[in-house]
Structure 1
Amino acid sequence: MMKAIVTGHTRGLGAAIAAELSRRGVAVLGLARSRANVQGIGQAELDMSDPDALQAWLAGDTLRDFLGDATQALLVNNAGVVTPVGPLAAQDPAAVLRAVPLNVAAPLALAAAFVQAAPQAERRILHVSSGAGRSAYPGWSVYCATKAALDLHARALQLDGDAQVKACSLAPGVIDTDMQATIRATPDADFPLRQRFADMKETGTLVAPADCARALVDYLLAARFGVEPVDDLRN
């Protein structure tokens, strides 16, 4: 039996990934701060930017109970935020302290707990990364750094040499989500490349979440998954 954990499943790409996996007969448990109005998907309310809340949830039985009979287990670390955006002089330190636990600590902790909760299964970990983890962008120092951390985590996992654990930090491309709306609403002074993303919306070159989710799930389920620990869905 194949089972999947998807973080940030209530909207955008996460919602599309959870729906696509469910459509293919995969049992899904979604983790997010709130519940979505969806059928056929298990849900747990969890603020993954709160390390104490995440630690308490991982200390419980939910994850182990859900994965207990899985023969193949999937973890899609999708939840994340682009904020704070701007140069250091404009960044709210409190926003940094919310972003880093959500973007880095949560997916790394979940990966460890996930592997330990399903020792009998083949386990696949997919970090939803970004080209911003591989190229620096002005105003995105926190976002770039946190996505780069996921890339290096996946590289190191491959070096661990566990044949039953495969990982990839995958950049999905530029998706038409709420995050993109946030980017377009950012002042140019905070994000000088804002117009590039606004142009993508105007020209219709943003990818629909459902289209991206289909390609991403194809990639996740393919035999070659994990061969490249850092990859781009557009390759």
Structure 2
Amino acid sequence: MPYPTRAILTGHTRGLGAAIAAQLLAQDIEVLSLSRTANAELAARHPETLSQIDLDLADLSALADWLAGDTLSRFMNGAQQVLLVNNAGVLAPVGALAAQPPAQVARAVSVNVAAPLMLAAAVAESAARSGGQAPETRIVHVSSGAARNAYPGWSIYCATKAALDQHARAVALDGNPSVRICSVAPGVVDTDMQAEIRGIGLDRFPLRERFDALKRDGQLATPEESARKLVQYLLSDTFGSHPTADVRELP
């Protein structure tokens, strides 16, 4: 059975990524997922349409080797529309500049910036050299409000997410009619990352109490709510009309 729309997704194991995968699969969109660990629940529910690749996106050499193979091009072959959802991301290191271990900085830049940009370029290149008419390519970077507002202790996270926003803006200026791109902030979502934030000492993240209050007052969006809005926008005719967006401002 042909699948006219296919999606590549990173970080599908839990939280927002798992919810995005579930939304796509529920619409009979075949998904190729990249993550360090598998999602057994989704695999059991969608054995025909979910393919999982065990890959640590912090290992850029391993990612480059995988992209040099033919798995991606074979997955995209025959698709009329290809979706790339760059969801995987890490928060650490958190703290002032002098308290940021270089290895953690390197990992954050690899996962949050280098991997998404490498995947975006590879998907676009594979689409461009496909036989016949190139499939429409839609790229989502899962960004953050931290890309657009600076927070003390989050200089690496803010900088890496801002890089995704700028990448989307610049790619949009390329004017390729076959490529639509948007860097989308998903809102404040009740995920493991939020739990990680609430576990950080005030000395490293002075604004932590604001996030404590969001959890306490029930103001965090569920992964399912944010995923539904993001996927709905991704598949809509208006996707990519602006290079950055926020799910809280989407209809």
TM-score (norm 1): 0.99
- Cross-structure match for 2:10: 7
- Cross-structure match for 1:150: 164
Q: After TM superposition, give the deviation of residue 25 of structure 1 in Å.
A: 1.1
AA in 1 matched with 2:114? A
Structure 2: runs of 5 or more not aligned: 129-133
- Cross-structure match for 1:49: 58
Q: State the alpha-carbon separation in 2 of the partners of residues 42 and 87 from structure 1.
A: 40
Match of 1:24 among 3, 22, 27: 27
Q: Contact (CA 8 Å) 1:5, 1:76: kept in 2 or not?
A: yes
AA in 1 matched with 2:145? G
Matched, 1:98 2:107: yes
Q: After TM superposition, give the deviation of residue 36 of structure 1 in Å.
A: 1.1
Q: Contact (CA 8 Å) 1:70, 1:118: kept in 2 or not?
A: no
Greater alpha carbon shift after TM alignment, 146-155 vs 114-123? 114-123
- 1:35-74 equivalences under 5 Å are 35-37=38-40, 38-39=42-43, 40=46, 41-74=50-83
Q: State the alpha-carbon separation in 2 of the partners of residues 17 and 118 from structure 1.
A: 23
Q: State the alpha-carbon separation in 1 of the partners of residues 245 and 63 from structure 2.
A: 28
Q: State the alpha-carbon separation in 1 of the partners of residues 78 and 195 from structure 2.
A: 40
Matched, 1:218 2:227: no
Q: After TM superposition, give the deviation of residue 116 of structure 1 in Å.
A: 1.4
- Cross-structure match for 1:167: 181
Q: Contact (CA 8 Å) 1:124, 1:166: kept in 2 or not?
A: yes
- Cross-structure match for 1:110: 119
Q: State the alpha-carbon separation in 1 of the partners of residues 114 and 100 from structure 2.
A: 20
AA in 2 matched with 1:75? L
SS at match of 1:125: strand
Q: After TM superposition, give the deviation of residue 118 of structure 1 in Å.
A: 2.1
Q: State the alpha-carbon separation in 1 of the partners of residues 69 and 90 from structure 2.
A: 26
Q: State the alpha-carbon separation in 2 of the partners of residues 15 and 172 from structure 1.
A: 14
Q: After TM superposition, give the deviation of residue 153 of structure 1 in Å.
A: 0.3
Structure 1: runs of 5 or more not aligned: none
Deviation track 1:59-111 (CA, whole Å, cap 9, x = no partner) reads 11110010011100000000000110000121111100111011000000000
Matched, 1:140 2:154: yes
Q: State the alpha-carbon separation in 1 of the partners of residues 83 and 198 from structure 2.
A: 32
Matched, 1:176 2:190: yes
Q: Contact (CA 8 Å) 1:139, 1:191: kept in 2 or not?
A: yes
- Cross-structure match for 2:140: 126
AA in 1 matched with 2:89? G
AA in 2 matched with 1:190? R
Matched, 1:76 2:79: no
- Structure 1: which 4+ aligned runs deviate by more than 2 Å? none
Matched, 1:191 2:205: yes
Q: State the alpha-carbon separation in 2 of the partners of residues 111 and 208 from structure 1.
A: 27
Q: Sequence identity, in percent?
A: 58
SS at match of 1:234: helix
Deviation track 1:158-178 (CA, whole Å, cap 9, x = no partner) reads 100001100000001000000
TM-score (norm 2): 0.92
Deviation track 1:6-39 (CA, whole Å, cap 9, x = no partner) reads 1001111001001100001110111001111023
- Cross-structure match for 1:204: 218
Q: Contact (CA 8 Å) 1:7, 1:31: kept in 2 or not?
A: yes
